[in-house]
Every structure is written in structure tokens, then in C-alpha cells.
Amino acid sequence: MNIAALSHRPGTPYVCAAAERKVALRLRAPRGEVLSADVIYAEKFRWHEPERRQSSAMARICSDERFDWFSATLALDDDRLMYIFRINAAEGVLYLSEEGVSRDFSFELGYFNCFQIPAIHEEAILRVPEWLRGSTCYQIFPDRFDGDVSGKPFVNMKRDDLPQPESFAGGDLAGITRRLDYLEDLGIRCLYLTPVFQSYSSHKYDTLDYTRVDERFGGNDALRELIDNARKRGMRVLLDGVFNHCSDDHPFFAEVRQLGYESPYHGWFYIDGDKPDAKLRNYRTFGDVSYMPRFNTECSSVIDYFCKIGRYWIEEFGADGWRLDVCDELSHEFLRSFRRAVKAANPDAIILGEIWHDPSMWLTGDQLDGAMNYGLTKALLDLFADTPFGDLGARGFADRLTRLLMRCTDPANDMMLNLLGCHDTHRFLTRVGGDARRLAAAYAVMFFFPGMPMVYYGDEIGMTGGYDPDCRGCFDWNSDNWNMQLRETVKRLTALKRSPALAKGDIDIEAEGSFIKITRRHGNDARRLLLNASSCSETFDGITLPPFGFAVDGDIYSPVHSNDCKEELSCVNSKSA
């Protein structure tokens, strides 16, 4: 056996506290070399009593080209645990403990060699709000969605203009409220709004005042009305928290620019010297953007301030959670304190982080609930688009999905925000060369994957757009220009997401030839996605699918217009919308 491939550690993602006295354990093993595995466990201070030791069989939950993963969920009598793994392989029985792999293990003398969970604390338990299960999220860039431009002198963007940060199209929160019928019909249960607070720009990631909704969007009352009306329809609203940085004209930074060390806000920022100087660039910023100074999120006053902001919009306006911008640059103490504040205001509010790489270190129960799942985005692009990792094939893609699931715990996976693109990326349809069939297939995978799928406004009708800011075009409300087949596909998938299997079921991912099969099960409800990951028509189990076509439970979804089959493409280009 390849012993080096055996792996377990008593922490995320190998250990997941499901409740105060319930824990899920994972074991990684070399693929195909473990016949079966058991976990032997006991209360920490009862390990020496043979009659108190128990054994639980582990189930193989998934595999990739190198590894098998096994899992067992234990119901405990105590919140403290000792355990080891017994592994049955072709060459005999092996034991995996904290000291490594052995062919024998002394249970009486091995107290100090076992893995242990010293105690299960509440902060380690990730709880998935019921409202999130089965929900589909819809991201809106408010200035470009809908709005009455009459009487708005600041509007300076025509629909055929290339979007820019200083371009205003006149969209507002009242416009979103007016379109709730459209969103409800599409099957949306959650809205994620890019920043709405006072700012000079249309994107509003350079905040001037965290306590006021920008008047261009209608002010505080417009947000309250939107949240109230959304809630009546069973929809939740997530706000964008830009707490890593602000505008250089924010009153706190402006005071430091004037008073230097004499300002109580000097320590709120990273400033080398007395006063910030844009020419010298003696202060830290978001990216390389001089007009967005970074907050010092290790500063206790900064932490206290934003904890109050986080609570305010939940308690006073009914917001249902936060998406945290540039989350991986925020201090861990900031995130822990922010979580306590938000959960005190509403235990069912969720906190999602913008993290473009492995998010597991933030998903240990004491910081975030979930993150934007760019790992899934990149895997889908590598399957369907021209990328450095393109031509994955069905096997390579299935392995990528498996690795994504195994780097986080199950509750964290259930709270990931799955996306094909957003305001920071090319639109997916553009990345796949306008082939709407590939977009529809990517949607199908995203909806079958654990987590909350997110539709970026306009993607469902076939909007195109290049990299930021081109991806932030205006929604075209002339339905004659919509790709109705694509929208209908998204609508069917949002309904399917609410089934027990897709909302909370186990997942099995397989690859055979050019086909990918994803099966979700919960109780008696089972759903299967069959995807042809080939550029040619292929047949599997009597089902013939066109290139990148898919079927759900044997039902072949009507193919949308596709360049691959030389049909006329019906899509909405953001530059001409």
C-alpha cells in the first residue's frame, strides 16, 4: 500500500462538528487499495475501558485519480473524543493514529497516540440556515439593472456605451423592487446586491458613508422597501460589505490627511508617517488603487465600528447577511468578531467571503459560513472554455469537482456561493465563444453541485461582456432580444434546486468515456445529471446527447442555440443592449 497517501488530521476538513455531540470524520486513502475502514473511538477519559470503545464502519464517499475518501458520522455521549482508524487492505490490517501507520496498536497503552478532539465548542459548528437550502441567488449591479432615469441629472451613460466606473445608467433600488415579479418567476430566492452605500462611483466599492444608502439608488427608504417586498415573496437580501477599504474622501481618512497623528483615526489605516500622501503612496491601498486606502482591520476600533455596521443593517432594515469584499485581506480577529456580531443580530444571517483561492482556512466555524466558489468557476471554464487547463475531459473534470468538495466540510460546501461569473469577470457566455449550449450545461453542473447557485444578472437571457467593466452592461428589458430557451433552462433548474435531493442530498460524481454523471440523493428523492463533455454527439444508457448537451433524470433538456451545431445564436450583447 502507498502509506504516504493515507491522511487524516484532527481539524478542517477532516473533522466537522455537526452538533455539540456529533462529529463527522474523513479519511483519505490511496485509490483502490483500502478494502474497508473503521474508526475505533471512545470518550476521551474512557478510552482505557475496553467496554467503552466503539467501532463504526466508514463509507467511501468519493474518489479521484489518486485517492479514495471515507467518512463516518459519530453520535457521542460526550463532547470529547479519542479515536484511531483500522484499515483493511490486501496485505492485512493497518492502524492509523497520530503517530502514523502501524501493523499493530496497543489499545491499553496507546492513549497518547490516538487522535483526539479535546472538546467540541459552539464556534466550531457550522449551521446551515434552512432558508439557504434549495435557494438560488441572483446578483445585481444596481446602477445597470433597472431604473427611472427621468429627473436624474447624473445619468451620463447610454445603453451602447462601454461601462466605466464613472458611468451612471440610472438604475436604482426601486427598479429592483419593480422587477421582483420577474425574479420570482425565474425562481430566485435570494438577492445579492453589489454595494449600495454612499459613494462617488457607480460601482460603489469606494465607500464614503457606511450608514447611508446612496441617494442615486433611492436612499435608506428604498432599501427598506426592497427588503420588505422581497421578504413577502420569500426572498432574502444580501448586502456587499466593503470593509477592507474605503474612498480616500471618506471622512475618517480625510481627517487623517488633515490632522495626521492628531486624528484618532490615524491607526485605522496603514500609514507610513504622519499624513497620507497620494504622490508618495505612503499608505496601503486596495490593489494598486490610490483612492481606496485600506483599513487596519487588526485595530480594535475598526473592528468595533464595522461590527456595529454589520448589525445595524440586519437589525434595522432586515438584511439577511453579508458578502465581504476582499475578505482574505481582513484580519481573522475582525472576521471572528464580525461573525459574533452578525449572528447575535440574526443567527440565520449568512456571511460569505470573496476568496478567489482555497477558502478552507476561513471555514472552520468561527469566521465565514461560505465563500464565493471560484474553484468551481475555474473548473467549469477549464471544461467549457479555452484556458491553460482546457481539454480536461470528463475524468479530469470529475476529479476537479471531487477535490473541491474534499477541501471543505459538508456544511461549508452547502453554504458556498457557486457562480459562473460576476461583476469582476468576463461573462461566461463570452468566455465560451457565444455557445449558449455550453453555458446551459455549466448552469446544470452548478445547480447540481452543493451550495447556493448564483445567476449574474442578464446571464439567463444571454448577455455577453468582456472583463470588468465590460461585464457590467445594462439589462435589456425588451424580451424580444432574450434567448428564451436559455432563460427557460435556468428557470427549470431553479425549480429543480428546491427538490430535497439537490437542496440537501449526498452527491456522487462519476465519469465514463466522455460522459459525466452527477447523482444527488436524499431519502427517497434521487436526481441524476448526465452531461456529454464532448464536442461530438454521444450516447450513454440509451440517451443520445448533442455536444455539451445534458439530461436530468433521463429528460433531455431542449438544446439552446449553439455555435457548435451552426444554428443562429440568440444572445444579448451588453454593448448594444
Query: Is residue 165 assigned to a domain?
Result: yes
Query: Is residue 281 assigned to a domain?
Result: no
In the structure, what pLDDT confidence band is assigned to residue 320 with cuts at 50, 70 and 90? very high
Pick the closest to residue 277 from 294, 256, 302 (CA basis).
256
Give yes or no: 49 in active site. Answer: no
pLDDT for 447 equals 98
pLDDT at 573 over 70: no
Average pLDDT across the chain, whole number: 94
pLDDT at 571 over 50: no
Q: For 170, left (φ over 0), alpha (ψ -120 to 50), or beta?
A: left
C-alpha cell at 402: 471531487
pLDDT for 165 equals 80
pLDDT for 111 equals 85
pLDDT for 577 equals 31
In the structure, what pLDDT confidence band is assigned to residue 562 with cuts at 50, 70 and 90? low
pLDDT at 568 over 80: no
Query: Is residue 538 assigned to a domain?
Result: no
pLDDT for 389 equals 65
Domain count, the chain: 2
Give yes or no: 272 in active site. Answer: no
Query: Is residue 63 assigned to a domain?
Result: yes
Distance between CA 144 and CA 395 in Å, rounded?
Answer: 40
Q: Which whole number is the average pLDDT over 199-203?
A: 95
Q: Which domain holds residue 349?
A: 137-244+297-506
Express as a percent the part of the chain with pLDDT over 70: 96
* Predicted confidence (pLDDT) per residue in 129-188, tens digit: 999 999 999 999 999 999 999 989 999 998 778 888 889 999 999 999 999 999 999 999
Q: Which whole number is the average pLDDT over 236-241?
A: 98
Q: In terms of domains, do 26 and 174 share one?
A: no
pLDDT at 402 over 80: yes
In the structure, what pLDDT confidence band is assigned to residue 18 with cuts at 50, 70 and 90? confident
pLDDT for 559 equals 67
Task: Check 38, 79, 354, 460 and give the catalytic one.
Answer: 354
CATH of the domain at 106: 2.60.40.10
DSSP letter string over 266-295? GGGB-BSSSS--TTTT-B-BSTT-TTSBBB
* Predicted confidence (pLDDT) per residue in 436-485, tens digit: 999 999 999 999 999 999 999 999 999 999 999 999 999 999 999 999 99
Q: In terms of domains, do 111 and 196 share one?
A: no
* Predicted confidence (pLDDT) per residue in 60-83, tens digit: 999 999 999 999 999 999 999 999
Distance between CA 103 and CA 232 in Å, rounded?
Answer: 61
CB 318 within 8 A of CB 228: yes
* Predicted confidence (pLDDT) per residue in 102-145, tens digit: 999 998 888 899 999 999 999 889 999 999 999 999 999 999 99
Task: Check 38, 325, 414, 460 and give the catalytic one.
Answer: 325
Answer with the one of 124, 158, 181 that is the final residue of a domain.
124
Answer with the one of 124, 151, 182 that is the final residue of a domain.
124
Cα atoms found within 13 Å of the Cα of residue 89, Cβ hemisphere only: 21
Answer with the one of 461, 480, 506 that is the final residue of a domain.
506
Q: Which whole number is the average pLDDT over 480-496?
A: 96
Distance between CA 209 and CA 194 in Å, rounded?
Answer: 15
In the structure, what pLDDT confidence band is assigned to residue 396 with cuts at 50, 70 and 90? very high
Query: Is residue 421 assigned to a domain?
Result: yes
CA separation (Å) from 125 to 8, 17, 110, 349? Answer: 19, 5, 29, 15
CATH of the domain at 166: 3.20.20.80
Q: In terms of domains, do 475 and 428 share one?
A: yes
